[in-house]
Structure 1
Amino acid sequence: MDDSRRRPGNLPADTTSFVGRRRELTSARALLSRTRLLTLVGLGGIGKTRLALRLATEVQRSYPAGVWRVDVAAVERADLLEHATLAGLDLEHAAARPPLAALTDQLYGRRLLLLLDNCEHLLDPCALLVSRLLAALPHLQLLVTSRQALGVDGECPLPVPPLAAPHPDRPRTGPDMPNEALELFVDRAAAALGEFTPTQPQAHAAALICHLLEGIPLAVELAATRLRTLTCRQILDRLDRRFDLLTQGNRAAPARQQTLRAVLDWSFDLCTPQERILWTRLSAFAGSMDLEAAEAVCPDAQLPPAAVLDLVAGLIDKSVLIREEHGARVRYRMMETIRQYGRLHLGEPDERQALRRRHRDHYLTLVLRADHEWFTAQQATWACRLDQERPNLRAALDFCLDTPGEAGAGLRMAAALWSPQLGADHLEENRLWLARALAADTARSPARIAALRADGWLALLVGADEAAAARVTECRALAAELDEPRASAQAEQLAGLAALFADDLATGVQLLEDTLARHRADGDHGDAWSALFLLGLACCLAGDSRARALCQEGLELCERQQAQWARSWALWLSGLQELLLGATAAAARRLQESLRCGPPAHNRLGVAQCLEVLAWTRAQQDRAPEAAELLGAAQSLWQQLGTRLPGVGRLLRHHTDCEARLRRALGDEAFTRSVQAGRALAVEQAVDRALERTPGCRSAATASPLTGREQQVVRLVAQGLTDKQIAALLVVSPRTAQGHVQRILVKLGFTSRTQIATWTTRSQR
C-alpha cells in the first residue's frame, strides 16, 4: 500500500486536476515554515480551499500526526464549532467533558496541521478557538481559509489572487507570462465535452472570456461548463449578463458554491447593513477610486461621511475591495464581477441617477481643479492622477452626454480635461469626447471656445487638417461674437498653431506674438507659457534670432512655477534649438534632461518628440546604430499615439534627412534591423537607451517588487530593529509590522532578516 494512504489525516482526494498556482504554493510553503497560523484570504470562488488542500497534501510528510481538515462552512452555530473540530479530527469526546479540554488533552504533544476551511461566517468564534489552541498546543500548526483574516496575534494572512489571465491582444512584457485561467478553462472544457482542442479563434475567444472574468477560478469553471450548449464566442457575447449565464455548477458542491451569484450572495450576507450599502454605491465607480471620491459620492442620510473610512476597511477585510498603493495615495479597486453584483442591488432608478450625478459632480470638480492648478508644482501629480481616473472620467462624461440637461457640464469637463496641456495621450479618444460634447451642447459660450481650441489642437496632431481648419474658423468667429478677451486669445493661439503646422512660419510668429502679449496682460502663467513655447518653436524653425532667448524664458518660467511636465517640453525645445545651431553635445544633454523629468507613461507624446530629435542628434554625432534604434522607438510611439510624425512640416524634413543619412552609413539591411530593434522596445526601455543606462542602473525603489510601506520596513529591518520597534516608529500594531516582514521575505525569496539587510545594502550601493 502507498505510504501516503497510511498517513493519518482526512484530506479528500482530488476529483479534478489542479491548475497553476505555482507562485502561491511557493509563498505559502515558505510562510508555513515560519508561522504557526497561516490564513489564506480572498474573495469567494477565488480558489482558497483548493489551494489549501494542495498545500496540505504537499506538506503532509512534515506532520507525523497528520493533516486534518474541518469544513467550518457546515457549522451553522458558534456553540457547535468545537464539537465539529473534534469530529473532524476523529477524536473521542465524553459528553460531560468540555470539548475544548478534550481537544487540547488529546492533541497535546502531537505534531499536526489543522486546516479550518471557510471560517468567514463564524469569524469571532474561529478566532477564539484558534487563539486557545495555539496557546495550549505548542506543536500544532493551523492553516485557515476565510474571506477575512481572523485578526489573531501571530497570524500571517496570505491574500489569494485570481489566476493569471493576461489580455490576449496585449503584448507580453516578460519571458514568463502564464495564462493559468485559460489553462483551467481548457481543462474543464475537456472534462465537460470529453475532448476540447480549441482552434485559434476559439482559443482567442476563450482567453478573452478568462480576461473578462478576471481569472476568478469558479467563474472560469462555470463558463467552461457552458460549452455543452454554447460556443466560446456565444459565451463571450453573454458575459454582460454573467449572473444569468454562470449558473450550472457542480451539484455535489454546497449550494452557496454552485453558481457565481450564490457565491456573492454569501459574501453580501456576511457584510453589515452599512457595508452592503457602501458596496452597492462603490459599484458606481469605474476602475478604482480613492477615499476622497468614496467620501464625496457615497454618503447620504443612510450613510454618514464619517462612517465611510471604517466601512471601506471592512470591505477590504472581507475581500470585496482590493487596496492598491500608488505613490503617496491609496486606491481601492473592485473586480468587475463584484462591481456588477453591487449594481444589481443599487435600488430604484431615482437613487441610481442621484448617485451617478454625485459621481459626475465629484469628477467635474476634480477636473476643473486640475485645470486651474495645472501650471504649478502639482503638474506631474495631476498628470498621474488624471490618468488613474480615466475610467471614472469616461463614466462621468457618459452621464453628462446621455442625460438630458447635463450636456453643458460635459462640455466644460471635456474642454478642461483635454485642453492642449493635458492632451498628451489617447488623442483619438479625446477627440471623440470633444466631438460628442460639442454636438450635445451648442450654446455660444467661453466653454465652447475652449473645447473648439482643444479639438482643433488635437486635430492638428493627428493630421486632420480640414477638421482643424474648421475648428479655427468657428473658434475665431465665436470669440469675436462673445468679445471675451481670454477666449479671443485662445482662438488666435489655435490659428497660430495651425499656421505653424502649415509651415507658414511668418503668419504663425505674428499670431503667436499677439497671443503671448494678451496672455501676459491677463497674468495667466499657464496660457502665457503655452504661447511662449509655440512662439519659441516657430522662431526656432524660422531661424529667428529670438529663438534662444524665448527658449530660455520658457524654461525659466517652468522652473519658477516648478511645472515639471511643461519643463520637459521646454527642455525638448531647447535641445532642438541647440541641434539646429550645430551644438550636438548640448542638444543631447537637454534632450536627456527632458526625458528625466517624469515617468514616460504620463507624457508619451513628449517622450516621442525627445527620442526623435535625439536620433537626429546621434546621427550627426556619427553614432548611426544608436540613432537608428532611437528612430525606430520614436516611430513605434508615433504609431501608438496615432499622431503624424513629427507634426510640423519642417521637422518632418529633418526626419527624412536623418533617415537618408543613416541608410548611407549603415546600408539598408542594417538600418532596417536597427529600426526594428528600436520599434520592439517598450517605452521605458527606449528611455533607458536614450539615457545610456541599463535597466539594472535604476534605483532600488523603481526596480523593487515592494510597496512604498514595505520599502520603509526593509530599511528599518536593515538597521536591526525588531518588529515591535518598527511598529512604534510607523505607528502600527506589532502584528501588522510582523505581517509586512513576512510578505517582504516571500516577495524577495528570503528566509531571514539578515538576508533583507544584505539585499538593502547591496541595492543602495
Structure 2
Amino acid sequence: MISDADIQNTLGNDPDNQDSLPLLVDRCKNPDRIVIPFVGAGLSKPFGFPLWGEFLKACVGNRPQLQDKINTRLASNEYEEAASDLTNALPYGVFQSKMAKAFGHSNLSSKGLSGAVDQLTRFPSARVVTTNFDRVLETCFRQNGIELRCFCGGDPQYAVEALNQGQPFVLKLHGDWEHPDHRVLTLLEYEKAYGHSDPKSIDMSRPLPELLGLLLKSRCILFVGCSLAQDRTMRTLRQISKQYSEHIQHFAIVEKPDGGSPDQSAASIEKRRNELAELSITPIWYPKGQHGAVESILTYLAEQMETVFPRPRRDKIPDLGNETVGREADIAELASRLTGDSAADRLITILGAGGCGKTRIAVEVANRVKSHFSRGVGFVPLSDLQIQREDRNLLPSRIGKELGVPELPKHPPHESLLAYFRSGKHLLILDTCEHLTEAVSELAGSILGECSLLKILVTSRRVLGSAYESVYPVSPLAVPASADASASDIAKSSAVQLFIQRAKRRCPDFALDDSNAKYVAGICTALAGIPLAIEIAAARLTIRSPAEMSDETAQLLNEQIKESHLSHWKTLSAAIEWSYRLLAPRSQQFVRDMSVFVGGWTLEAAGAVCDPALQSNDVKDLTSELVDSSLFVRSEAGGRSRFRFLDPIRQCMQQERTLDEIQSQQERHARWFLRLAEEAAPKFLTGEQRKTLDALQPELDNFRQAIGWARDTTLPEIALRIMVGLWRFLEIRAYYTEGLSLANKVLAIPGTESAPELKCRLLSGAGMLKYRMGDFAGAETFFEQCWHIAEARQDSVEMADALSGLGLVAMMKGDFKTAQERQERCRTLEVANGNPRNAAVATYNLGFIALGRGDNETAIARLREALNQFEAAHNDRERAFALDSLARAYIASGRPLQEAKNSASIALEIRRKLVDNKCSADSLRTLGWAAVQAGDYESATNRLKEAMMLARGVDDTRGISEALELLALMNANLGNDANAVFLVSAAAKIRGAYGYALPPALVAQREAALERAKTTMGGEAYHAEWNRAAALDLPDVISEALPASFRKQ
C-alpha cells in the first residue's frame, strides 16, 4: 500500500496538501457520503483521445479562414461557439464521421485500459460523472467486471433516479459521441439543455441544471482529469452552486500553477484557489508537469477506501489451508518479477520435481500480487487434461471454462481468450503442465503476442521451450547441516520447520527438543527436504515416534537405491511408499481403488468403485483414516464433501496396481459415471436443471476419463451411453468445442453400428451442439446421418429427433415450408411415442414457423399450447422461448402491445436469471420491436442498444442483423431515410453471408420503409447509401452500422 508519507512525498510535500488530503480521505471512507468522481478529458488523453480543443482544431482541415475563426474562439474558451461554427461549415456526415473516428469504439478495441482511470474501478460506489464523449470509463469498468448503466444529458430524469439508488452508473452530462440527439456540443444544443447560452441566465427548472444542482448540493464530488478552466461549463457550475445557501465540500486533483517567479507563482496559486473556492472545491495539488501523480493519488484513495469497503475479487485462487514454510525468498522474487516491467518475465515457468511445492509457491505468489492485476488472477489446474495434436482446441477451451470465459460461436476457443485477456491486467496460472509443454507453449505464444498486459505463471517438471519463457527453478527445503547440532540450530532449517508445523496438526503437544531433534533432522535429510514427503512423514507421528520414522525412512531409502544417486522423484516415491506400507491391507486396496478417479470423488462414488465387499461405513472410516494420513485431501463443494489425491501421490498409487485391478477399477468407474449421466439426463429440462448441472460440474474430469477408457478398450455401448446422457449438459454449459470433440471420438469407435439407437441419439446431440454454434451446415450433416439410421430401422423415437433438428435448420435458413413439414411429422411421431416434452417442443417449433410464415393466429394458438405444457413441467428455459415468440406473434398480429411487452418481459427475466446472454438479447429485440411499433423510440433505442451489446458479446450475427433491421425501421419512422437504407443494407449483407432469413412480419415493414426512402432521397442517393454498406467487409459493416443506428440527420 502507498503510505501517507509516500503520497505526500509524491505530491512534493506541499504544505497545502497536509490538511486537504486527509480531509479527502476522511470523506472517501465515510459510508454516509460516497465520493463521486467527476472525470475530465485528461484521463482519456493517455489512450489517444484528443482534448476537446485539439479535436475542434483537427476538424478544420485545410480551411484557413475557418481555422482563424476557430483559433480565436478557443483562445476565448468559446468551445460551444467553435463547435457551432464547425457543424455549420461541414456537412453533417463529415463532422459525425470525425466524431466517430476521434472518440469511437475503434480507438478502444485493442487497448487494455490501465493507469489512473483503472483506479476509479476500485472506488466502492462505481458511480462516475463526466462530460467526455468517448467510452473510456464504460470500457474500463467493463474490463473489471462492472457493468455501468449509462445516462446521458438528454435523459437526466432517469439519472436523478440513479443518484438515489446504489446501482453503478456513468452519467454523461453532455452525451455521447454516437448519439447526437442527447449531445450538448454546439451553442444551440447548450441553449436547449440549459435554457440560455449565458450561464448567468440558465433555467434551473430544466432537467440538466436541476440534475447538476442535485449533484453539487448532495454529493461530494472529486474532480479528476478536469482542467476546470474558465469555460462555459465551469461558469455554469459556479452559477448553479450559487443557488444553494448550504454547500458540500468538493475536491479536485489539479496541477499546481507555476507563475515563474515566487511572487508570480504565489499570485497564480491564490487566484486558482479562489476560483475553485467559489465552487466549494478544495484542491489537491500535484507538481507542475508530473501528471503521473494523478494515478498515485487515485491508487492511494482506493487503498484507503478498501480498508472500509473491501473490494470484491474475481480471482480464482485455491485455498492452501495452512501456512507455507521456507519459501519467502522464492515468493518475493517471483512476485517482484511478475509485477515488474521486464518483457522477459511475461511467461515464467516454476520448474521443479514432483512434490517440491511448485503449486504452493504459485498460489502464494498469486495472493501476493493479485492487487497488481486489476482484471484478476486465474488459476487453472491441468494435471488431468490429456490432449492429442488434433485436440489443440481443448486447452484454450479448458482454460476458458475454468475462468468463466464463454466460447464465441463459430470461432475457435483461443479467440475468446484473446478477447478476454486484451481487457486489462491479468495473471494466468497454469498448474502442472509437464505433459502439455508443446500445447501450452503454442497457446502462450499466441495470446502473449496479442495481449500486452497479460502475464502467465506456469508450474511444470519440464521447460516449455517457448520464446517468451523465463525459467525459475525451485529447490527442496533446506535441511539441517548436521543431525548432531543443537535442537535450536536444527529448528532453523526450513524442512524441520515444516515437519514441526505439520506434526502439531496431528499431535498438538509435539515439540522439538534435544530428545527428538536428531531424529527429525534425520527424517528431513533422508527425504531430501522435499515438502510433500515431509508432510507425509509428519502425518505418521500419531503411530510412529520420530526415532522409529528416522530408522524406517533411512531403511526404505536404502532399499530403493543402493549405489546410484537418489533423485528427488525417487525420494518422494519412497516416502509415499513408506507411508503406504504402514497401512493395513484393506486400506492399501482402498487407496489403489481410489487412484482411478480424476479430479476427485464423493463418498457415494468411492463406494461404487471400491471393493464390492466394503460397506458404506467401511468407506467412511477408510476415507477418514487416509485423510489423517495426508494421502487424501478433503474439500467441500455445494455442501458435499469431496476427496482427492495430490498428483504425485496418485501417480505412485497407480503404479501399485496390478493389470487385473486396473481393468476392474476402470470398469466400475465407467459404470458409475454412466449411471450418473443417465440419471441426470431426464432432469436437465425440468425444475431440477440448475441443481443437476451443478452436481455434474465437478465430475467432468471423471466423465472424460470414463469415455476415454471405453474408447480405448473399444466398448462403444458404454461410451455412447455416457455421451448420450451427457451431451445436454455440455450444450447448456456451452462446452461446444469439447462436446463435439468427445462426440466425434465416440462416434469413431469401431462397432458403434451395433448400437444404432444410441448412435442416433448421439448424432442428434452432436447436431444440436453444432446448431448452437451457428454451424447450420454441420448440424444438418449430423441430423441427416441420424435420420438415415433411424429411418432404416423405422425407429420412430430417433426419427422424431432427426426431424426436429432438420426442421430447426430449415427454419434458420428461411425454408419455412420444409421446416413445417418436418416439425409436423416430428410432432405426430412424438405424440405417438408418448413423449410430452418433445411433443411440446415440436408444438412450439410449429408455432414459431407459423409466425415466420405470417400465420399469426395459428402461431398464437400453437405457442400458447406449448407454453401451457412447459409451465406444467416447470421447464422455465423453454417456457421463456414460448413467451418470447408469443410476444412477437402479438406484435405481428396487431394485438395490444402491452400483451407483447408483458410476455417478453417475463421471458427476459427468466433468461437473465439463467445468465443466457444470447437469449436475453432475443427478448430485448422483441421489446425493442414493440417499442418501435408504439412510437416509444427512447425505449426502443435503449432496448436495442443493449441487445446489440449482448449479441456482439456472444458473436450472434443473426441477432445483430435483426437488431439492425429494427433500428432501420425506427430510423425510417423518424424520417432518417439515409440511416435506414444503410442499416438495411448492412443487415442484408450479414444475412447473406450466413444464410439467415428475416421474419416475414418485418419484411413487409422493411420494404415499405425502403420504398418511402427511395422516393424521398431519389435513386442516386438511395443507391449510394446502400452501396456504402455493401462495400464494407463484414466486421466493418457492424462497426460502421452502430453509430448510424442511433444517429439523427
Q: Is the 8 A contact 1:322 1:333 kept in 2?
A: yes
Distance (whole Å) between structure 2 residues aligned to residue 193 and residue 568 of structure 1:
48
Given candidates 625, 631, 634, the residue that maps to 2:950 is: 634
What does residue 330 of structure 2 align with?
A: 188
Q: Deviations 1:476-518 (Å, cap 9, x if unpaired)? A: 2212211222122222222212211211011101110111011
Q: Deviations 1:171-204 (Å, cap 9, x if unpaired)? A: xx95685989999989517769999967446344
What does residue 593 of structure 1 align with?
A: 906
Q: Do residues 496 (structure 1) and 816 (structure 2) align?
A: no
Q: Is the 8 A contact 2:600 2:644 kept in 1?
A: yes
Q: Is the 8 A contact 2:347 2:458 kept in 1?
A: no
Q: Is the 8 A contact 1:268 1:276 kept in 2?
A: no
Secondary structure of 1:627's partner? helix
Letter of the aligned partner of 2:360 in structure 1?
Answer: I
Q: Cα 1:467–1:584, aligned 2, differ >3 Å: closer, same or farther? A: same
Structure 1 position 281, deviation (Å): 3.9
Which one has more relative contact order, counting CA pairs under 8 Å at least 6 apart? 1
Distance (whole Å) between structure 2 residues aligned to residue 318 and residue 357 of structure 1:
28
What does residue 265 of structure 1 align with?
A: 536
Q: Do residues 537 (structure 1) and 680 (structure 2) align?
A: no
Secondary structure of 1:289's partner? coil
Q: Do residues 362 (structure 1) and 672 (structure 2) align?
A: yes
Q: Do residues 505 (structure 1) and 816 (structure 2) align?
A: yes
Structure 1 position 348, deviation (Å): 2.6
Given candidates 390, 404, 410, the residue that maps to 2:700 is: 390
Secondary structure of 1:322's partner? strand
Given candidates 400, 406, 414, the residue that maps to 2:710 is: 400
Q: Do residues 566 (structure 1) and 878 (structure 2) align?
A: yes
Q: Is the 8 A contact 2:350 2:474 kept in 1?
A: no
Given candidates 339, 345, 364, the residue that maps to 1:202 is: 345
Q: Deviations 1:91-126 (Å, cap 9, x if unpaired)? A: xxxxxxxxxxxxxxxxxxxxxxxxxxxxxxxxxxxx
Q: What is the aligned-residue RMSD (CA, Å)?
A: 4.8
Q: Cα 1:247–1:574, aligned 2, differ >3 Å: closer, same or farther? A: farther
Secondary structure of 1:389's partner? helix
Q: Is the 8 A contact 1:283 1:340 kept in 2?
A: yes
Q: Cα 1:315–1:547, aligned 2, differ >3 Å: closer, same or farther? A: farther
What does residue 655 of structure 1 align with?
A: 963
Q: Deviations 1:50-99 (Å, cap 9, x if unpaired)? A: xxxxxxxxxxxxxxxxxxxxxxxxxxxxxxxxxxxxxxxxxxxxxxxxxx
Q: Cα 1:287–1:592, aligned 2, differ >3 Å: closer, same or farther? A: farther
Letter of the aligned partner of 1:638 in structure 2?
Answer: V
Distance (whole Å) between structure 2 residues aligned to residue 581 and residue 387 of structure 1:
43
What does residue 124 of structure 2 align with?
A: none
Q: Cα 1:345–1:174, aligned 2, differ >3 Å: closer, same or farther? A: farther
**Superposition pairs of residues 2-13 of structure 1, within 5 angstroms:** none
Letter of the aligned partner of 2:801 in structure 1?
Answer: Q
Distance (whole Å) between structure 1 residues aligned to residue 905 and residue 786 of structure 2:
37
Q: Is the 8 A contact 2:948 2:960 kept in 1?
A: no
What does residue 360 of structure 2 align with?
A: 216
Q: Cα 1:599–1:176, aligned 2, differ >3 Å: closer, same or farther? A: closer
Q: Cα 1:389–1:526, aligned 2, differ >3 Å: closer, same or farther? A: farther
Secondary structure of 1:394's partner? helix
Distance (whole Å) between structure 1 residues aligned to residue 887 and residue 914 of structure 2:
21
- Which of 1 and 2 has greater Rg? 2
Distance (whole Å) between structure 2 residues aligned to residue 568 and residue 331 of structure 1:
35
Structure 1 position 528, deviation (Å): 1.4
Q: Do residues 248 (structure 1) and 476 (structure 2) align?
A: yes
Relative to the length of structure 2, the TM-score reads: 0.40
Structure 1 position 429, deviation (Å): 1.9
Deviating above 6 A after TM superposition, structure 1's stretches of 4 or more consecutive aligned residues are: 178-186, 192-196, 218-221, 232-235, 661-668
Q: Cα 1:240–1:204, aligned 2, differ >3 Å: closer, same or farther? A: closer
Given candidates 757, 762, 768, the residue that maps to 1:457 is: 768
Q: Deviations 1:217-274 (Å, cap 9, x if unpaired)? A: 49979x9xxxxxx9x97994734899xx966332332316821441353267468646
Distance (whole Å) between structure 2 residues aligned to residue 431 and residue 567 of structure 1:
27
Q: Is the 8 A contact 1:499 1:507 kept in 2?
A: yes
Letter of the aligned partner of 1:354 in structure 2?
Answer: S
Q: Cα 1:175–1:425, aligned 2, differ >3 Å: closer, same or farther? A: closer
**Superposition pairs of residues 49-448 of structure 1, within 5 angstroms:** 174=312, 187-188=329-330, 199-200=342-343, 202-206=345-349, 216-217=360-361, 236=458, 238-239=460-461, 248-251=476-479, 252=493, 253-254=495-496, 255=524, 258-266=529-537, 269=540, 273=584, 278=590, 280-301=592-613, 303-314=614-625, 320-326=632-638, 329-334=639-644, 337=647, 340=650, 343-344=653-654, 347-401=657-711, 403-419=712-728, 422-423=731-732, 425-441=734-750, 442-443=752-753, 445-448=756-759
Secondary structure of 1:452's partner? helix
Structure 1 position 422, deviation (Å): 5.0
Q: Cα 1:250–1:361, aligned 2, differ >3 Å: closer, same or farther? A: same
Structure 1 position 519, deviation (Å): 0.4
Q: Deviations 1:424-474 (Å, cap 9, x if unpaired)? A: 522222111111111224415011111121222222332333323322332
Q: Deviations 1:584-619 (Å, cap 9, x if unpaired)? A: 544443344335548856756544544554555566
Distance (whole Å) between structure 2 residues aligned to residue 572 and residue 315 of structure 1:
54
Letter of the aligned partner of 1:405 in structure 2?
Answer: T
Q: Is the 8 A contact 2:921 2:946 kept in 1?
A: no
**More off after superposition, 510-519 vs 628-637:** 628-637
Secondary structure of 2:601's partner? strand
Q: Cα 1:462–1:191, aligned 2, differ >3 Å: closer, same or farther? A: closer
Secondary structure of 2:620's partner? helix
Residue-pair matches, total: 476
Q: Can you give the 5+ residue segments of structure 2 that lack an aligned partner in the other structure?
A: 1-310, 366-428, 430-436, 445-456, 465-472, 480-492, 497-523, 542-578, 980-1049
Q: Is the 8 A contact 2:677 2:722 kept in 1?
A: yes
Distance (whole Å) between structure 2 residues aligned to residue 205 and residue 579 of structure 1:
58
Letter of the aligned partner of 1:358 in structure 2?
Answer: R
Percent identity over paired residues? 19
Q: Do residues 528 (structure 1) and 839 (structure 2) align?
A: yes
Letter of the aligned partner of 1:459 in structure 2?
Answer: K
Q: Is the 8 A contact 2:590 2:610 kept in 1?
A: yes
Q: Cα 1:218–1:542, aligned 2, differ >3 Å: closer, same or farther? A: closer
Distance (whole Å) between structure 2 residues aligned to residue 578 and residue 317 of structure 1:
65
Q: Is the 8 A contact 1:423 1:458 kept in 2?
A: no
Q: Is the 8 A contact 1:420 1:458 kept in 2?
A: no
**More off after superposition, 251-260 vs 522-531:** 251-260
Letter of the aligned partner of 1:263 in structure 2?
Answer: I
Distance (whole Å) between structure 2 residues aligned to residue 638 and residue 195 of structure 1:
35
Relative to the length of structure 1, the TM-score reads: 0.53
Q: Cα 1:632–1:267, aligned 2, differ >3 Å: closer, same or farther? A: farther
Q: Cα 1:478–1:218, aligned 2, differ >3 Å: closer, same or farther? A: closer
Q: Can you give the 5+ residue segments of structure 1 that lack an aligned partner in the other structure?
A: 1-172, 224-229, 669-765
